[in-house]
Chains A and B, each alone.
Chain A
Amino acid sequence: DTAVSQTPKYLVTQMGNDKSIKCEQNLGHDTMYWYKQDSKKFLKIMFSYNNKELIINETVPNRFSPKSPDKAHLNLHINSLELGDSAVYFCASSQGLGAPDTQYFGPGTRLTVL
């Protein structure tokens, strides 16, 4: 039983295309996140959602648009893909926004923009 799942696992596309990554969690958590891991393995928050509401947008270009249709899902749509968008994108979830709450991560989606 996968706690946090993402699809697709790999995504290869051309510059200028639009693509989406889907994330689902079956942990009953209220809060979900998107993180980006760059080529140097550095991890940085992109968005967090709580009860389907956007809480933070960490200076992400507006080509990135997250959508949370319900508490169990947080999808990431990316318009007009650029070479610099190539990275691994991780979805995560936690019980809530409380400081002690552990974040559980999905397996990641490796996006390659050609």
Chain B
Amino acid sequence: AQSVAQPEDQVNVAEGNPLTVKCTYSVSGNPYLFWYVQYPNRGLQFLLKYITGDNLVKGSYGFEAEFNKSQTSFHLKKPSALVSDSALYFCAVRHLGYNQGGKLIFGQGTELSVKP
């Protein structure tokens, strides 16, 4: 079965410090991995995705993610956190099973809090 885990419910970071939001996955076959961000009372916004190729993926708002096949991880990173980065972050994997309708399987979400 395909699954995604975000081991931390909450991550606290001081503004200006680097941030990491962790994600591990379990898939059969090649993984197609995504990160989304949800600001309070807003929809999900796409940040970045890993399809193939370079293990370091760059996305929106200065975020990047590192794909590590041996550790089955896809951690989200940013070199210098902003207070405005405070939000709920979701990692997701695309289900590749036949007749699965292209669904995304989401992790449980990680609340990122950046303090001034």
Contact in complex: B46, A31 (CB < 8 Å): no
What chain B residues lie within 8 Å of A102 (beta carbons)? 34, 46, 49
Find residues 23-56 in chain B having any chain A CB closer than 8 Å to their own CB.
32, 34, 36, 38, 42-46, 49, 51
Find residues 99-113 in chain B having any chain A CB closer than 8 Å to their own CB.
99-106, 108-109
What chain B residues lie within 8 Å of A99 (beta carbons)? 32, 51, 94, 96, 102
Whether A48 contacts B101 in the complex (CB less than 8 A), given A99-B96, A102-B49, comes out as yes
What chain B residues lie within 8 Å of A48 (beta carbons)? 101-103
A102 to chain B: closest residue by CB: B46
Give bound CA distance, A56 to B96, whole Å: 13
A100 partner, pick from B32, B43, B103, beta carbons under 8 A: B32
Give the A interface residue count (CB, 8 A): 32
State which size class the interface on B falls in.
20 to 34
Whether A42 contacts B101 in the complex (CB less than 8 A), given A105-B43, A105-B44, A106-B43, comes out as no
Give bound CA distance, A75 to B102, whole Å: 19
Contact in complex: A100, B49 (CB < 8 Å): yes
Task: Report if B67 contacts A (CB, 8 A).
Answer: no
What chain A residues lie within 8 Å of B42 (beta carbons)? 107-108
Give bound CA distance, A58 to B104, whole Å: 12
A49 to chain B: closest residue by CB: B101
Contact in complex: B49, A41 (CB < 8 Å): no
What chain B residues lie within 8 Å of A40 (beta carbons)? 108
Task: Report if A101 contacts B (CB, 8 A).
Answer: yes
Task: Report if A76 contacts B (CB, 8 A).
Answer: no
Find the residue from A44, A92, A105 having the highest chain B CB count within 10 A. A105
Provide the A72-97 mask, 1 if CB < 8 A to any CB of B, else 0. Answer: 00000000000000000010101011
What chain B residues lie within 8 Å of A100 (beta carbons)? 32, 49, 51, 94
